[in-house]
A and B are shown apart, each in its own frame.
Chain A
């Protein structure tokens, strides 16, 4: 495959979806086979991509370029750097796992797989776009399948179904209902998600258009724009143009991240979505936000990023604390995981805001790590829901007798989410905390408290789901015994633990993408031959040592 790896990764799911159109819904095995097969091609190609990406050479590799429109200056320009590579890998792992998580879907299975393949392929497309137009193209394309996935295969929240309307009038979807976050219909969740994300996406697109206009280069090519676009010091509306563009881009993309206070679509959407969709949604769709900010704002407007990024450092605290507290009090398994996701995305923003080699690398690794951890948790929440038909935490209990495998995996998932040593999340969290301590000590303290909070709500949920007395009505529920049911969990666990034990290649790849970016933004030269943790047990120590070595440099820069 060689140079064409990106095309395989991107187009295998698309062609899979296309092939599925011509298959009858009754041929269940063929439908699943095509879906799994195309996801598998994508997975194999992205494993190849990840391991043959050369971190020493760095930069954008595996480049593919096809002229798409001369007049508009658009080309299908694909390539990955050290930041895109792990995220592409995470997307295809989650897609592959998601196909198996939704293996038993009965209702319109063919269409489900079509939409999930398109969703994943569009997400992957964003991670490898080097053209602003295609970045937006794939970004917007990933939003619409969510509507159908949520609406057709999603579920209402428990309280919604209990809502009674005294006169038999349909009042459930009335205006006042919008502010009733606890009880939503899946239609409402789907519509909110799409409109919210589209509204902010067009803001980001306005920013992209402004870049296009003021660069005067008649191109959407990110690599050309980052070298040649001169957007600084153009006074507009009492401020400068670059600030306006940056704010449009940042908040446009931060909505999907989701940064507080733009997060409200997210937990609602998670709760309504079927398990595989939640996995992709929390696992990779949310990372589109961070990734696009890095790709557009960091690459093209480095000076403005340095100036305005502290804004994110303030907002991320609210993300972490707010998400954590709501997750603690939420009674719905998917709300807990959904709010925990939006809380954890605050760490990524913290790592990005510190603009430090270690912290930004940590943020990127955290995106990868969080994809695996939250993918596990959502797939298991989906399993529990399928078995018990409820997501109401207080009414569940003692399920570990009935499903020992799931409960064991759930413990691992919680550990990964918390950031236990031995999982890749630990390394990422440590890097973020260590890397941003110099610049944002307050935020780091909040982040550490956030980890404690994470433990609190995940352990609380784990206890009430799997331990204690069990209601007899759940006695018919059973464990994941079949190979296809266990496979996705085993994949995600092994990836999480595997990289936790052997993170060096991932770290090198990420650093090769982060280094030129941070060097351009902060003008601080990275410490040469910085050693990454070889094993988690010593990583904290080594990181601190590395950090100490870097201190004089950053002080000089300030």
Chain B
């Protein structure tokens, strides 16, 4: 197999956001080294500027429908990859803004922190465009590389070191599985690009290979039974890194999973629907039950994240375009609610130096704004109207019911009730319990901005979701060939007032 790299300058347009961000990344690093006395928050704002420009460029791509493929289909720029890139960039901007204050805790390398965040974001942007097994491997490792460092950034903190080690060992193990799976698949099919494999016969080697790849991606999204690194890593990592880890890699890995299942493996749909259904039920049920016992808010959010992935997999198991729309929509709602919740956790950890749920007692009296925001974020994660998470869940359930996935929906609905319990326990601490130390809590400006963005997203998507639904529907145009469930044409609307 030979690659023909007869690129033109025009082709490089497709890579414009990545190229720009790479250059900007170097700029951030150079500024950090060249001006060591520069306050580090300036670097944060510098990185945010670069990310915002990238976001603008992607929005331009999205509006003008620029799309194409590069390097013999290794890299595709379609509307879905644009969606995920915007998702990742958006998450990065919010995380950087939320970490400005937190970074002062690091003894060393405060400037490189921003570099590493943007570098991981860059890796994940490539991941969103990966369209063959090689680029899958390279981009996945590229994005994880930054995280290995970031997770262990609190050098004096044993928990952070442990988290880094655990994440690294398991991450490398997953990478090994991935490489082995890729080699099996390539050995069986002789193909690397996803779309070329569509008609491959189901040989045992191929199935094992894909299972291994799924395991590696399952590790990234943190689905049960590949979740064991999540609680400890989330707990030990610096909180802004946890926030980033809980959002962006999941989005990027979901993008790859969508391509893998719907492009490469669509002929095996009956098989992977069962696989996804089993993983989804396990994720939701296990995570929601274990979350009840958590006393640390980061661990609680870690388990809640595992459960949310279970919900996402319901949408994927539906195996229709509508299911994929619902997944993208759900991730969008999850982005705002989860980043918002972590922003409150970061603000609290700056103010009281603790991440124990008990220390949230009486938050409503200490800072009504933070308590109210946290309430809305948690309720959105639980799926309570009129918040975004509710619409996300309903969208997924509607997509799934059209395919008749009754068991999955029943498990999902029961899990909403279970999850409500542990979210409400946090609400109980914040609102009902009396504060131990009634001093008011102050929040920094950028942190407030992040919380406001989270609130705006959570409420806006919940109350007026149509523009967002339109966006995700157009983002999954590549799946429009999938068979749609049969619906009778809607009869004419009866005369009003009758």
Residues on A lying within 8 angstroms of B by beta carbon are 59-61, 63, 65, 67-73, 108, 111, 133, 137-138, 140-141, 144, 147-148, 151-152, 186-187, 190-191, 194-195, 198-199, 202-203, 205-206, 209-210, 212-213, 216-219, 221, 223-224, 227-228
B243 within 8 A of A: no
What's the minimum C-beta distance from A116 to chain B, rounded to whole angstroms?
Answer: 15
Residues from chain A with Cβ under 8 Å of B416 in the complex: 198, 202
CB interface residues, B 377-431, toward A, < 8 Å: 379, 384-386, 390, 394-395, 397-398, 401-402, 404, 409-410, 413-414, 416-417, 420-421, 424, 427-428, 431
Q: Do A59 and B497 have beta carbons less than 8 Å apart? A: yes
Name the B residues within 8 Å of A195 (CB-CB). 417, 420-421
For B432, the closest partner residue in chain A by CB is: A151
Known pairs A148-B431, A151-B431; A141 contacts B385 (CB<8 A): yes
The yes or no answer to B483 lying at the interface (CB within 8 A) is: no
B2 in the interface (beta carbon within 8 A): no
A111 to B466, CA, bound (A): 30
Residue from the list A69, A199, A210 in contact with B417, Cβ < 8 A? A199
What are 30 A-B pairs at a CB distance below 8 A?
A68-B465, A68-B466, A70-B466, A70-B469, A72-B395, A72-B469, A108-B364, A138-B385, A141-B384, A144-B384, A147-B424, A147-B427, A148-B431, A151-B431, A152-B432, A187-B428, A199-B414, A202-B416, A202-B417, A206-B410, A209-B398, A209-B401, A209-B409, A212-B401, A213-B402, A213-B404, A218-B488, A219-B490, A223-B494, A224-B493
For window 444-488 of B, CB contacts with A under 8 Å fall at 465-466, 469, 473, 486-488
Report the Cα distance A203→B417, complex, angstroms.
11
List the A side residues contacting B394 at CB < 8 Å: 72, 133
Residues of A within 8 A of B424 (CB): 147, 191, 194
**A141-B384, A141-B386, A144-B384 in contact; A209/B397 too (CB < 8 A)?**
yes
Measured as residues with beta carbon below 8 angstroms from the partner, the interface class of chain B is 35 or more
- Name the A residues within 8 Å of B486 (CB-CB): 216
A-B contacts besides A141-B384, A151-B432, A224-B491, 16 pairs, CB < 8 Å: A60-B498, A63-B497, A71-B325, A71-B469, A72-B395, A72-B398, A191-B428, A198-B420, A209-B409, A217-B490, A217-B491, A218-B487, A224-B493, A224-B494, A227-B494, A228-B491
Interface presence of B231 (CB below 8 A): no
For chain B, residues 321 to 340, give those with C-beta under 8 angstroms from any C-beta of chain A.
322, 325
Q: Which residues of B contact A111 (CB under 8 A)?
A: 364, 368
Asked whether A144 lies within 8 Å of B421 as measured between CB atoms, the reply is no
Q: Assess the A217–B488 pair: CB atoms within 8 A.
A: yes
Q: Would A202 and B496 count as touching, CB distance under 8 A?
A: no
- Nearest Cβ distance between residue B382 and chain A, in whole angstroms? 9
Contact of B466 among A61, A69, A186 (CB under 8 A): A69
Look across to chain B and name the residue whose beta carbon is closest to the beta carbon of A14. Answer: B386
CB atoms of A216 and B379 under 8 A apart: no
Q: Give Cα A117 to B364, complex, Å.
A: 19
Q: Which residues on the A side are within 8 Å of B420 (C-beta)? A: 194-195, 198
Q: Are A217 and B494 in contact, CB atoms less than 8 angstroms apart?
A: no
| A330 and B325 alpha carbons, distance in the complex (Å) | 54
Q: Which 8 A-B pairs have the closest CB atoms?
A: A202-B413, A151-B432, A218-B487, A137-B385, A141-B385, A216-B488, A213-B401, A209-B401
Contacts of B494 in A (CB 8 A): 223-224, 227
Is B497 a contact partner of A217 (Cβ separation < 8 A)?
A: no
Question: Min CB distance, A517 to chain B, in Å?
Answer: 15
Task: For A202, list chain B residues within 8 Å (CB).
Answer: 413-414, 416-417
Q: Are B498 and A59 in contact (CB under 8 A)?
A: yes
Which residues on B are within 8 Å of A, measured CB to CB? 322, 325, 364, 368, 379, 384-386, 390, 394-395, 397-398, 401-402, 404, 409-410, 413-414, 416-417, 420-421, 424, 427-428, 431-432, 465-466, 469, 473, 486-488, 490-491, 493-494, 496-498
Chain B interface secondary structure, helix, strand, loop or mixed? Answer: helix
Point out the residues of chain B lying under 8 angstroms from A210, CB to CB.
401
User: Within the assembled complex, what's the spacing in Å between the Cα atoms of A436 and B486?
Assistant: 44
Which residue on A lies nearest to B403, using beta carbons? Answer: A213
| CB-based contact A140/B410 at 8 Å | no
A71 to B399 Cα, complex, angstroms: 10
How far, in Å, is A57 (CB) from chain B's closest CB? 8
- CA of A38 to CA of B469, assembled, Å: 33
Q: A152 is contacted by which of B384, B410, B431, B496 (Cβ under 8 Å)?
A: B431
Minimum CB–CB distance for A236 against chain B, Å: 10
Interface pair B386/A137, CB less than 8 Å apart: yes
Q: B463's closest neighbor in chain A, by CB?
A: A68
A216 to B491, CA, bound (A): 11
- In this complex, which of A71, A73, A133, A221 has the most chain B Cβ atoms within 10 angstroms of its Cβ? A71
Q: Are B497 and A60 interface neighbours, CB within 8 A?
A: yes
What are the residues of chain B within 8 A of A223 when measuring CB–CB? 494
Give the shortest distance, in Å, between B95 (CB) and chain A (any CB): 27
Q: Write out the residue numbers on chain B whose beta carbons fall within 8 Å of the beta carbon of A219.
A: 490
Chain A hits for B398, CB < 8 A: 72, 209, 212
Q: Which residue of A lies closest to B416 (CB)?
A: A202
Which A residues touch B368, using CB under 8 A? 111
* Bound form: Cα–Cα A426–B414 in Å: 42
**Bound complex: CA of A533 vs CA of B48, how far in Å?**
73
Report whether A61 and B384 are in contact in the complex, using a CB–CB cutoff of 8 Å.
no
Q: A138-B385, A195-B420 are in contact. Are A65 and B496 (CB under 8 A)?
A: yes
Residues of B within 8 Å of A68, CB to CB, are 465-466
A302 to chain B, nearest CB (A): 17
Chain B residues closer than 8 Å to A141, beta-carbon distance: 384-386
Q: Which residues of A contact B384 (CB under 8 A)?
A: 140-141, 144
Q: Shortest CB–CB separation between residue A303 and chain B, in angstroms?
A: 20
**A227 with B497, Cβ < 8 A, contacts A202-B413, A210-B401 known:** no
Partner of B491, one of A137, A199, A203, A227: A227
A108 to B431, CA, bound (A): 11
**Chain A positions within 8 Å of B417 at CB level:** 195, 198-199, 202
Give chain A nearest CB distance to B2 CB in angstroms: 44
Contact A187 to B491, CB < 8 A, known contacts A71-B469, A111-B368, A206-B410: no
B372 to nearest A CB, angstroms? 8
Shortest distance between the CB of B482 and any CB in chain A (Å): 15
Residues of B within 8 A of A59 (CB): 497-498
Assembled-state Cα–Cα distance A221/B491 (Å): 11
Q: How far is the CA of A209 from the CA of B396 in the complex (A)?
A: 12
Q: Which of A70, A140, A203 contacts B390 (CB 8 A)?
A: A140
Verify A191–B421 contact, CB threshold 8 A: yes
CA distance A224 to B487 in the complex (A): 14
Select from chain A the residue with minimum beta-carbon distance to B487: A218
CA distance A213 to B403 in the complex (A): 9
CB contacts (< 8 Å) of A137 on chain B: these are 385-386, 390
Given contacts A202-B417, A213-B404, whether A187 and B487 have CB atoms under 8 Å apart is: no
- The docked-state distance in angstroms from the alpha carbon of A133 to that of B487 is 18
Question: Which A residues are CB-close (under 8 A) to B401?
Answer: 209-210, 212-213
Residues on A with beta carbons closer than 8 Å to the beta carbon of B409: 206, 209
| Nearest neighbor of B464 in chain A, beta-carbon distance | A68
- Tell me the complex Cα distance, A108–B424, Å: 20
Q: List the B side residues contacting A216 at CB < 8 Å.
A: 486-488
Closest to A147 in B: B424
Chain B CB within 10 A, most for which of A69, A133, A228:
A69
Verify A217–B487 contact, CB threshold 8 A: yes
In whole Å, how far is A252's beta carbon from the nearest beta carbon of chain B? 11
Minimal beta-carbon separation of B379 from chain A (angstroms): 6
Cα separation A73 to B416 with both chains bound (whole Å): 23
> In the complex, which residue of chain B has the Cβ closest to the Cβ of A72?
B398
Residue of A nearest to B402 (CB): A213
Is there an interface contact between B413 and A206, defined as CB atoms closer than 8 Å?
Answer: yes
Per the bound structure, the CA–CA distance linking A111 and B431 in Å amounts to 11
Q: In the bound complex, what is the Cα–Cα distance between A210 and B410 (angstroms)? A: 11
* B491 to A, closest residue via Cβ: A228
Residues of chain B within 8 A (CB-CB) of A194 are 420, 424
A449 to chain B, nearest CB (A): 37
Q: Smallest CB-CB separation from A191: which chain B residue? A: B424
Residues of the A chain whose Cβ atoms lie less than 8 Å from the Cβ of B421: 191, 195
Complex alpha-carbon distance, A61 and B414, angstroms: 37
